[in-house]
Chain A
Amino acid sequence: MSGLFEIPSDLQNTYWGLVVLHLRLALVPVAAGLLVALPLAQLCVRLRWLYPPVLWVTTVLYAVPSLAFFVVLIDYTGQTETTVMIPLAVYSLVVFVPALVDGVRSVPQETMDAATAMGLGPLRRYLQVQLPIAAPAIIAGLRVATVSSISLVSVGMLIGNQGGLGNLLNDGMIYHQPRLIWLSVIGTAVLAIAADAALVVLRTVLTPWMPRGRSAARPAPAEARPEPAAPVLKDAAR
């Protein structure tokens, strides 16, 4: 059984070590992308004219193949993890910027007006009202970005075994060992599914205030009016 997960010594790692490496290579760029996207999206919300060009630029960047990024970046960052992570972070923007902009814009105007009128300044409004209410949209974006990042990491093998589980693909071909290719493909898929499931759980925990499933269909409790008879009599007296 131990033989199943045995991998060639040239990778200088265990299978589980590669899994951890793969996750780091995939998730650090997603986190970095989110950190960049937060202020960028807020700018787009505040300055409406900025949103179309920003969207255009992120889409164009998404269309640049990762190999092309590597070619440019390798002069600066070498054959390192950073070279793999930068394009992944850039790609995540194409998901995060619209998710954040739409999420923040989905906050009802009344809610924002009420927040302003109660004396919440712009920062409080952003942190205490807009971001929490945008959380479902942000997490939806996070799921897409995370899954795509986990699958994209594998190309890192092209710049010298910087692709996490993707490194096994190369070895599988060199050593004619289909087992290694299966380990890579299935391992990557399982990671993606597990990460996605974790984010679904996170959303459920973070948004107890969302109407969901049956509870949304349940009729709200009847309007409780004290003294049900009194208002009828009082009407004309006013």
Chain B
Amino acid sequence: MIRIDSVTKRYPDGTVAVDRLSLDIPDRAITVFVGPSGCGKTTTLRMINRMIEPSEGTILIDGKDILKEPVNTLRRSMGYVIQNAGLFQHRTIIDNIATVPRLLGWDKARARDRARELMGRVGLDPALAKRYPYQLSGGQQQRVGVARALAADPPVLLMDEPFSAVDPIVRKGLQDELLRIQDELGKTIVFVTHDIDEAVKIGTKVAVMRTGGRLAQFAPPAELLTDPADAFVEDFLGADRGIRRLSFFPAAGLPLLTTPVVAVDATAEQIAARATPDVPYLLVTGLDGRPLGWGEPHTLTAGRIDPARLIGHGRPFEHATESLRAALDCAVLSPTGWAVAVGADGRVTGVVSQQTVAEAIRSAHAAAPADEKAAR
């Protein structure tokens, strides 16, 4: 555990970057520092590896004061990932990744083997090993940055706005990749960002900081969205925090209707049997079980339904793995107001109406406080 104990950073000109900050960063979890620029989040991160020394207070790692350890030993025990990756442009990808192992005295062959292994882990093509950074895209460079930070298998990973400089699609890929790597490796990650959506997405716990270097709230993301500590946090979270909070409720509990679903080769009897007064549309699936579209029962020609004449079904959601947010989104975007649920194989498992999603949201909210504590 990293304990930040009433740490203040004051610069000679009197500016206070961090003001009496105290918090415990849990092991094997992602702790995100988020806040507007000038809130001291990067300063806090840099005090953990002593790139900046605190003016007051102490930082303890597993009970040991970081000031007592030789500075370069401390730094080599922490991976560091930075915006724009900060790669060594004069070294090949593989030598970039092998930097810290080489500093720790590993021989060249072992360090390179380790670097190759990490390239696979962060999703980099091994053919890039001998390339130079300028030959890589921004997203690939950032992956190299992550691999380099992980090279000596440090217990702690410090990440300073690592994904801010890449485009949104690549950023999303990198975030998913980080979560996957974290599932495998279980590092203690301290992550700085100014993007609250990123914080909520990847953080196990989120520390919201305000200008002047003070901690506004330190809580798991779901709690942050449900119960912001004050107007600043609420404002920083943005207007649609209610919708975003739905990301934390699984869709798996939604009751699905399987009646209004027919296959593309359905007979007249099947169509008639499945059309009920309370369901105005029938979902037509292909012979492979995947959704084709919606149709009103009287427009469907028995035995040879024409997929081209169906109403689009919008994006389906995966019932077992996705959240209420996804289900609601699908229902809202569906032209018929019904969302299509599918299994991992893409086959339709049922349909659900906006009303049913709304009821599920109400009951999830009612049960939430207890659940959230249990989940964390």
Contacts and interface: CB of A to CB of B under 8 A. Distances in A.
Interface in B129-154: 132-137, 139-140, 145, 148
A233 B73 contact: no
Given A233-B321, A237-B322, A119 B137 contact: no
Interface stretch (A50-58, A62-70, A219-227): A219-227
Interface stretch (B77-85, B270-278, B347-355): B77-85
Interface string B86-97: 111111100000
A113 B51 contact: yes
B18 interface: no
Interface in A193-238: 207-211, 215-216, 220-226, 230-231, 233-238
A154 B308 CA distance: 89
A117 interface: yes
Contacts of A47: none
Kindly name the residue among B51, B90, B99, B321 whose own CB sees the greatest number of chain A CB atoms within 10 A. Answer: B90
A209 B91 contact: yes
A225 B91 contact: no
B98 to A, nearest CB: 11
Interface stretch (B56-64, B108-116, B171-179, B224-232): B171-179
Given A118-B100, A211-B134, A225-B123, A238 B201 contact: yes
B306 to A, nearest CB: 28
Nearest to A107: B89
A116 B73 CA distance: 12
B77 to A, nearest CB: 8
Contacts of B158: 117
A208 B323 CA distance: 49
Contacts of A31: none
Interface residues of B, number: 57
B332 interface: no
B139 A223 contact: yes
A120 interface: yes
Contact of A118 (B80, B84, B128, B139): B80
A117 B123 contact: no
B137 A111 contact: no
B82 A209 contact: no
Contacts of A38: none
Given A133-B90, A216-B134, A231-B173, A238 B247 contact: yes
A236 B87 contact: no
Contacts of B28: none
A224 B143 CA distance: 10
B80 A117 contact: yes
A135 B90 CA distance: 10
Nearest to B103: A119
Contacts of A230: 176
A185 B49 CA distance: 60
B325 interface: yes
A3 interface: no
A159 to B, nearest CB: 43
A132 B90 contact: yes
B363 interface: no
A119 B90 contact: no
A121 interface: yes
Contacts of A116: 51, 75
Contacts of A189: none
A158 to B, nearest CB: 44
A108 B86 contact: yes
- Most B CB atoms within 10 A — which of A114, A129, A220, A221? A114
Interface of B: 49, 51, 71-76, 78, 80, 82-92, 99-100, 103, 123-125, 128, 132-137, 139-140, 145, 148, 158, 170, 172-173, 176-177, 179, 201-202, 247, 250, 317-318, 321-323, 325-326, 329
Interface of A: 108, 110-111, 113-121, 124, 129, 132-133, 135, 207-211, 215-216, 220-226, 230-231, 233-238
Given A114-B82, A119-B74, 9 more contacts: A110-B86, A114-B80, A129-B90, A226-B177, A230-B176, A231-B173, A233-B322, A235-B326, A236-B329
The 9 A-B pairs with the shortest beta carbon distances in the complex, nearest first, are A236-B326, A114-B86, A110-B86, A117-B80, A119-B75, A119-B76, A119-B72, A209-B132, A223-B139
12 contacts: A108-B84, A110-B85, A114-B82, A118-B80, A118-B100, A119-B103, A133-B90, A221-B137, A231-B176, A236-B323, A237-B250, A238-B323
